[in-house]
Amino acid sequence: MTAPHSDTPPEHNHVIVIGGGHVGLSFALLLAHQGIYSTLLETVKYPTIAPDQDRERQSYLDSRNTALSRRSVQIYHEIGLWDELDSHACRIDKVLISELGSFGRATLDKQAENVESFGFVMENAWLGRVLLQAVKASPYIRLHDNTQVTTISQDDDMAHVTTISQDDDTGNGNIQLSAPLVVACDGQHSPARHMLGIGADSHDYGQVGIVGVVETDTPHKHVAIEKFSPAGPLAVLPLPDSADGKYRRSVVFICPKGDEHAYLHDDAHFLATLQQVFGTDAGQFVQAGRRGTYPLTKVLAHRQVVGRCVLMGNAAHTLHPVAGQGFNLCLRDAYALAKLLGENLQNAKSGKFGMTTPDFGNQARLLGYEQSRQTDQKRVIKFCDTIVGSFTSTNPVMKVARNVGLITFDKIPFIKPMVATYAMGLKS
């Protein structure tokens, strides 16, 4: 990627991205890979990270993690980031699936499915660090952190965003930015979604997710363990060993809302509960790190495109974390839109279809993007809802049925490859 740095991107070759979380950072980098300039706006002030800082894990029990599908790994590889990300990732070779206290059990094994792996578990802190450093180094991206978006408007030719810097010493005040397209990746509660007048359906699962890292006395052997309980799905995922060789696992523990405090502040109770739930499948749980919590809510925007503005990431769809599908779905959305805009730019450069300048905010093209993503999005949403609904039911008939289903899934040959392909994000 070579391009002169410019404080003023070309008017027509420009996208404003609102929200600098992992989805927003990734989308800006995907645009840059297509030769498209962007201005990235983030409310939070990013920490200052030197290029050689924190290359080693400073606290091996203090991190949140994301399960990246095979397709997500391919996307990061395509834009030249995977080699650096890989140093803090751990592949998943096998998945053990069962229900707490029941007979049903199933296994997904990479050798049986003839795949390199089912994906990787990535430390969020490292993912964010690599993405942020790449954004700061890109000549195609202007980054404004500690900056709040106050208004969004649009006309026939441009979308307009008014911002205010939170830095006391800048003296910039309100600044209006304009571009042919605005993409909002500003989270589940998306202020941009409200500014655009887009409604959303919300469902509170009445559950809280507890996430963190634990140490076990045996190596993980690249095995992920999924255990379903009446409270919700529970998971222990493999992580790279610590610098001194200790065995680390990422934990996703879901409990009814209100019960989370007992697991947050009492390490012994948390470890004993994990041991009771997972038995000896993961060995002995010997140490727990700091845990974080988040209430589980499904949020689905009524629309993802309005005029020259697009919703992306959790602003468009926030899902239950079961099976770790949410971020991977968002990344596939980002890839699809960046690819579409890149084709538009190339057509304009070559004069194809009589184009001389790209129009990234073309209504028909954006609506086409929205429609093209419906199959993948609806499939993932239905998959997550089905699992959550089936395994949280206490009906004895349902319990027998889902355990028979696990055994059937484990024994019938053609089902596993289909489910594995969907889970890896390779069919969208």
Residue 362 pLDDT = 94
Task: Flag whether 212 is in a domain.
Answer: yes
Residue 161 one-letter amino acid? V
Task: Flag whether 340 is in a domain.
Answer: no
Measured torsion, CA atoms of residues 68, 70, 134, 340, in degrees rounded to the nearest 10 = -110
Task: Flag whether 348 is in a domain.
Answer: no
Which among 387, 384, 373, 393 has a CA at the least distance from the CA of 319?
384
Q: Which two tokens stand for residue 417?
A: 């490859």
Residue 199 pLDDT = 97
d(CA 91, CA 87) in angstroms, rounded, equals 11
Task: Flag whether 321 is in a domain.
Answer: yes
pTM beyond 0.85: the answer is yes
**CB-CB neighbours of 47 under 10 Å:** 11
Q: Please count the structural domains in the chain.
A: 1
Residue 321 pLDDT = 84
List the domain range (segments joined by +) for residue 301. Answer: 14-332+374-423
**Alpha helical stretches, state H, 309-373:** 326-350, 363-372
Residue 274 one-letter amino acid? L
Report how far apart, in Å, the C-alpha atoms of 202 and of each of 296, 315, 319 are.
11, 12, 10
Task: Flag whether 3 is in a domain.
Answer: no
Q: Which two tokens stand for residue 406?
A: 């696990």
Residue 1 pLDDT = 33
Task: Flag whether 343 is in a domain.
Answer: no
Task: Flag whether 346 is in a domain.
Answer: no
- 332 within 8 A of 71, measured Cβ to Cβ: yes
**How many Å is the Cα radius of gyration of the chain?**
22
Residue 425 pLDDT = 56
Task: Flag whether 342 is in a domain.
Answer: no
d(CA 167, CA 411) in angstroms, rounded, equals 60
Residue 4 pLDDT = 39
3-state secondary structure of 288: strand
Residue 393 pLDDT = 55
Residue 427 pLDDT = 60
Which among 172, 144, 178 has a CA at the least distance from the CA of 158?
178
CATH number for the domain that contains residue 24:
3.50.50.60
Extract the residue ranges of the chain whose pLDDT is less than 50: 1-5, 57-58
